[in-house]
Each structure stands twice: as C-alpha cells, then as structure tokens.
Structure 1
C-alpha cells in the first residue's frame, strides 16, 4: 500500500490503530507476568470455545448464581482491545468460573495474584480502549491523532493514589507511546488537520515551537492557495475581456496546443487541556491573516460536535481556511473503515451469491454504505421544498 501511494504521488499515513496495537504489545503485554496471565486466560476461554458441554455447564452455574448468562470473549492476536474484552469477560464471570473449577476442573487456573494483576491491567488499558473506539469510528480523521496522543501521555504521566501496583505498567506504556509517537507533531498531515479542526485548533500541541512551526506551514499553504486563486481569476478575466473579432479562427485554434489540465477520563482530559490554552495572537492587515487570527482566538467547539458541519456553516466567514480544511480533514487516521468496506463486499458476494457481476456488486456495496447519507439528503430536500 505504501508503494502504491508513492507511485501515485499521494501523501499517505500509517494506520494509527495498528501503531496503538504495537504500543500495547511492546509496553505492556511484553511484561512476563502480564503475558503469562493473559496466556492462562486464553487457555481458559479456549476450553469453553472447544467444548459445548463445558459452556452448557457454565451456563447452568450462571443461572444458579442468578448471574446474567454471558459467553466468554475470545481474543484476536491482531486486535489488542479483544484481549481487553477477554480479560473483562473473565473478571465478570470470576465467581461462576470458581464454582465451575470446583466441580469440573480447567486446563489451567488463575492465582489470586494473577486475578489482581488482571484487574490492574484493565485499569491501565481503559484509556487505550476508549481511544481505540474513538479513532475507529467512521468519522475519525487525521485531526484526532495529535490530541489523542497528548491526552494519553498526560493520563499515563499523572500519578494518583489508585496507581498502587500499576506504576510500572504506566511507566512502561508511557515509554512506548513516546517512542512510537515521538514525531507525530512533525508530520504536516497530522499537524495541519489538527490545526484546522475547530474542536482542537492549536490547543493540543506540546510546545510553542511546534505550534509556531505548523502555523507557518498553514500560512504558506494559504498563501499558495491564494496565489493559485488569483492567477485563475486573472486568466478568466483576460479571456473575458478579449474582443470577439480577435479570437482565432477554428483552423488556427485546432492547430494550437491544448491548455494544460487543471491541477471519559479520557474525554475530561481533553476538556482540561482546552481550558489551559488561550491564543492572544495579533491580527494582521491581510484578509487571510485576519481569518487565521479570528479562527484561533474564538473558543473551540465541543469535542462531540461535528467539525464538517462547523465548516459548512462558517465557510463564508473563513473562505480560505474552509477550503484548506476540506483538503486535510478528509484524511482518515486508521484503516478500520476501509476494512469495514471489504467486509461489506464479502457479505454481499458470498457462496450463495457468487454469480453477481462486478458492476452489480459495486452498486450494492455503494448503496449499503451510502444509503443513510442518501436518506438524509432526501429528507433535507423534502424539508426545503415544504419550506419554500
């Protein structure tokens, strides 16, 4: 995929969720005590997954203990949060598993120390799980990466009384985060997307130098866009002002060369960072500089709001910034949504529908993924017609 992007001359980013997977594996699951406890969890869940009789017995025990019947979660090696959910399901069924072991036995059991270690591991991984869900949504963009990393670093570096016994875990994870995301603010795609997101702006950069650097990049980008726009307007004006009698005849025009083609706690930490930052910058006399100054001095919108709706409403106030925001906010930060698209195609073209033509399959996939958007568009048109 990297080679394809390079051959097309398209700037690309790695999958943020995949890098987060490497952080957890390197920072936490590489610890011997944690990996041994997780391996025991995998053996326990595997025992029930491969034995319907064992699951039936566990189900009966859950009913006898007046617990909600629930199947244990199996983890997947390539998805660290599946390990999180596996540990969570085991902790939830701890009493039922204890009763099962007393009567039937298991291939392996967890010691008291291991149960305690798993509880602490869940506490440490909770922000990572929330972050994974956030960046895996269909609306997540490259703008979510820098704020998420900043918040994650602050949570892991913060010490409190509840950290007893998990300080080493948090320190190890913090080191892994700093190693894997050390250059995230130097990547222009991440930096400009964050800067142009009205939920974040310049509030989540870790240093004044990095903030100034990315603002300089934004200024240069706006100047180049303004120059291209001015050139296009002048070209159109010169064509419109040319007298009709001086226009070349059809034969001459045919010979002329063609013109070139147009070229939670987690969220609380977000809010706390916003409260700590203010931008008192000074306005300049140019129109673009005024737009930039006004945009950054205004309050950010809520993190739950939609940045695309913001730019749709404010594109008349900040036309230059809106055009640049459209360019950078469209970049996703993970490959999750594209994998969902592949799953949609595999659900449509299966063994019982294997004679679909490529054109028909593409139409069905398009309808499946875009039907909610099309319905909202139809409803908006209907409301507009009723109001008019």
Structure 2
C-alpha cells in the first residue's frame, strides 16, 4: 500500500532507531528516561525486509517508548526534528492496529508440526469476518489498510483450483471439516433446472476415490455406497481440538477410514506457507560457509537433514 503519510511516519521511525543504534550515549539516556517514566526497559527494534512482521514490531516499540524517545531527542538540537508529530503518531497507531493482529497468524501459519494448507481457509474466514473487519473506532487510514490487506489475500486465493484445494484440505482436517463452507466442494453440484442449460458438475470429494479402471455398473454403485458411508461417518464424528495434530489423528483412525486417510495424506502434507523451505535454505547457508565451500553436495544434504531432524 502506497501512502505518503505511512511512508513519512515509517521513515521517521527508521531514523529514530538508527540514531539510537549508533550512539551508546543515546542508549544510556533512553534507559534513564525509561526508569524516570516507569516504562519497560526495552531496546528499539529495526525493520528487516526479510523478516515478517518486523515493521509492525518496530512501530509498536516506538509507540511504547514514545515519551522516553521524545525526552531524549528534545535534549539534542540536531535530532530534535526526529520527534514524531501527533500526525505521525496517529498514522503509526493506525498501522499498528491494522497489522498487529496479523503477527500472531503469521507465526501460527509458519509452524511445521501440525500446520498445513488446511489452516488457510479457516484463517481467511477469520480475517474477513473478525480480525480485519472494520470497527467503529477505526480511523479511515486503518480501515483502508485492512481493506487493502483483505483485497490482496482474497485475490491471492481466488482461483477456482486453489479454492477447491483449500476446501478439500479443510474438509479432510478433523479440526475443521465442514465448518468453513467446504460443503460445496465435497458434495456434487445440484442438477440443472429445466430453464437453464446443463452445467458441469463440480468435482466432489468422493470422486477422488473412484477407480480409474473400468468397472461394472454394480461395482460402481457399491463403491459409491462404501465411499459415501465412510465420508458420512467421518463427518459425524466430533471435531478435533485446534491444538491437536491432525496427522496423528489420521494415523490412529486409518483403519476406520482407509480411503479418506489416503486422501488426507495427499493434501495435509502441503505446508501453509513457504517458511519451512526458507528455514532449510537458512540452515544450508549456515552449513556451507566461506570456509566450507568445497563440501560435497551429498554431504551438504545429509548435514542439512541432520540439522533439521536432530
């Protein structure tokens, strides 16, 4: 989102952080001001382009230490102009209010244990209807930022194929099932009306279990009945707690749902974000350094595997 007010306020924050980062005297004065004003003795944070949520963390810390920062900068004529104005503070508060709730979701979706693509649909639903929904006390800038974020996220996942994947993954997750409007993907589309031309049926969850080989009519009907009964039994079971591991649940109930468990293994192995692959790249960078640039690729693979799994 390009906004001159946001660009100016964020620029001021960066200059403030830089002025304190490169001066031990400023750090000392800030610590003394924090004690006098009974503020938390926290250091200022800087924005890092490659670190998610770093801008919001920087803004939040500036707002927390606003009085202490103003007290220290007011004693320096050369840096007095860096004291945020009330307009800057209003902008920073609006940005922090809009971005703050996203930090927890970003951290949650970046997990590697029981976080998969099945979490995307519930998260989008919660962001659209609760977290990023406009509030009465929101400033216009805050509403605009929330709107832009939702517009970007909804467009990102708007492709029909992506929606189908998210619906099926969410339905196969015992923590959610049909809670987030996945019913349309699981059930086949309704038959066409007399006035409308025939429409192509949407791919249903049960269609994944059908054998690719030709079967007799009786075998096909029997197979559909078995799949339908298995699916119906699964949907009638109680949902799993949100903190539980769905993969472990499917491992425990594999013998009860042999067909669904195979499909769950296919979809729930997809990570919600690219964080896991980025962590692997970071681990590789720590292993293959300038002093170890001649490592055999096979050795690198083994060392990365050991580093990530021990």
Q: Could you say whether these structures have the same fold, taking a TM-score greater than 0.5 normalized by the shorter chain as the test? A: yes
Shift of 1:314: 0.7
**Residue 252 (structure 1) aligns with:** none
Shift of 1:152: 0.9
**Residue 38 (structure 1) aligns with:** 10
* 1:121 to 2:95 alignment: yes
**Residue 210 (structure 2) aligns with:** 223
**Residue 109 (structure 2) aligns with:** 135
Conserved 8 A contact 1:146-1:205:
no
Q: Taking CA–CA contacts closer than 8 Å with sequence separation of 6 or more, which of the two structures ends up with the larger relative contact order?
A: 1
Conserved 8 A contact 2:250-2:261:
yes
- Of 86, 89, 93, the match for 2:61: 89
Shift of 1:356: 4.3
Partner-residue secondary structure (3-state), 1:201: coil
Uncovered stretches (5+) of structure 2, i.e. residues with no partner: 190-201, 216-222
Note the aligned Cα RMSD (angstroms): 2.9
**Residue 218 (structure 2) aligns with:** none
With normalisation by structure 2, the TM-score equals: 0.80
**1:146 and 1:185 mapped to 2: Cα distance?**
13
* 1:201 to 2:180 alignment: no
Question: Which is greater in Rg?
Answer: 1
Uncovered stretches (5+) of structure 1, i.e. residues with no partner: 1-25, 231-283, 372-388
Distance change >3 Å, CA 123–CA 36, structure 1 → 2: same
**1:56 and 1:109 mapped to 2: Cα distance?**
18
Partner-residue secondary structure (3-state), 1:198: coil
**1:210 and 1:39 mapped to 2: Cα distance?**
46
With normalisation by structure 1, the TM-score equals: 0.65
**1:171 and 1:356 mapped to 2: Cα distance?**
49
Partner-residue secondary structure (3-state), 1:75: coil
* 1:360 to 2:288 alignment: no
**1:350 and 1:195 mapped to 2: Cα distance?**
44
Cα shift readout 1:54-104 (whole Å, capped 9, x = no counterpart): 334323433454544322111123545111111111112112101111212
Once the two structures are superposed, the pairs formed by residues 189-268 of structure 1 within 5 Å of their partners are 189-205=165-181, 209-210=184-185, 212=187, 216-224=203-211
Equivalent residues, number: 287
